Amino acid sequence: MQRYILSRLIQSVFILFGVLFIVFFMLQMTGDPVSLLISRHSSPEEVEAMREELGFNRPVPAQFASFIGNALTGDFGKSLRHKQPAMDLILDRLPATVELATTALLISLILGIPLGLISGSNPGSFWDVLSRGTGLLGQTIPNFWLALILILVFSVHLGWFPTFGRSTWTFLGMTLPTRSVILPAFSLALFTMGQLVRFTRSAVMEIRSEDFVRTAYSKGIADRKVYFRHILRNAAIPLISIVGVQFGYLLSGSIYIETIFSWPGLGNLLAESIGNRDFALVQAIAFFSSFVVVTLNLLTDIAYAVADPRIRY
């Protein structure tokens, strides 16, 4: 077990170095960053001075080495537009994204897993058709389109939710979400919900046909007990990995939803910085999102290995 965790840890570190390599060279592809900073009237001497000050006049390998060195201490340079450390801007926006992603995950778990369970236990039934339809629609309805429809129906016509923005309230020193999170979270949740329905359904169907389930039934154990003890407990194991992967997707994939709802999170920051051609910030966001995803994948794999004693690599 320890060996498995250690090897996955090393692998994740390698992946993160690969990510640093990729984002560094992607920024190099954007051309001379100084040309974005100067005004048209700057003299060549001023340009050269700025290049020197920012370290862009050094050879690329040297720049890469100092980039890695800074990255290891959490320094991703300054946003060219905001003149603030990129990491500060990211951490500033993180709570909104975490709130959105967590709510979306909760919505998809609460709706997706029961649907998948009912569907997998009664293949061919009305509920099965319904949840398979949900799974398919979750995969094919673009979340940015669903967001527009939800705004139209629930904000504009029914007036139940605000059309955009994030509001919070404070209780005992904690910042808590308000109903402003419901529509963005629901739009974001649809895809994950569809995935959860599909995976839960197939996990339940697979386990239902296992020998140990037949044995449990033939021993005369009550149906309910077989269902909860033998089927659900085993079906929960593969769900760990899908939930981990999906949470990473929710944390990094909310650019459309945050843009549409003007949700002040990371996705919105990414869209803004792309609009401003503030590529230093884009680079930092890309690395930060990758870091979150890689860490979540690692934790998921460890949780999986702990939960399922059969997994030993």
Binding region for other proteins (CB under 8 A) = 11, 14-15, 18-19, 22, 26, 29-30, 121-125, 136-137, 139-142, 144-145, 148-149, 151-152, 156, 198, 201-202, 205-206, 208-209, 213-214, 217, 223, 226-227, 248-249, 252-253, 255-256, 259-260, 270-271, 274, 277, 279, 282-283, 285-286, 289-290, 292-294, 297
CA 53 vs CA 16, 45, 46, 67, 240: distances in Å: 28, 12, 10, 15, 48
Residues β-bridged to residue 169:
176
CA 59 to chain centre: 35
Q: How far is the CB of 218 from other proteins (least distance, A)?
A: 10
Q: Please, which residues have CB within 8 angstroms of residue 30's CB and are 6 or more apart in sequence?
A: 277, 279
Q: Which is nearer to other proteins, 108 or 289 (CB)?
A: 289
Amino acid at the residue 92: D
Q: Which is nearer to other proteins, 37 or 271 (CB)?
A: 271
Q: Which is nearer to other proteins, 179 or 214 (CB)?
A: 214
Q: How far is the CB of 170 from other proteins (least distance, A)?
A: 31
Exposure of 16 in the CB half-sphere (CA atoms within 13 A): 20
Q: Which is nearer to other proteins, 41 or 157 (CB)?
A: 157
Q: How far is the CB of 305 from other proteins (least distance, A)?
A: 18
Q: Which is nearer to other proteins, 55 or 142 (CB)?
A: 142
Q: How far is the CB of 229 from other proteins (least distance, A)?
A: 14
Q: How far is the CB of 205 from other proteins (least distance, A)?
A: 5
Q: How far is the CB of 41 from other proteins (least distance, A)?
A: 26
- How far is residue 205's CA from residue 235's CA, in Å, rounded to a whole number? 9
Q: Which of 243, 257, 263, 245 is nearest to 94 (CA)?
A: 263
Q: Which is nearer to other proteins, 162 or 177 (CB)?
A: 162
User: Which residue's entry shows tokens 């939930």?
Assistant: 243
Strand, coil or helix: what is 66? helix
Residue-by-residue DSSP string for 120-171: HHSTTSHHHHHHHHHHHHHHHS-HHHHHHHHIIIIIIIS--S-SS---EEEE
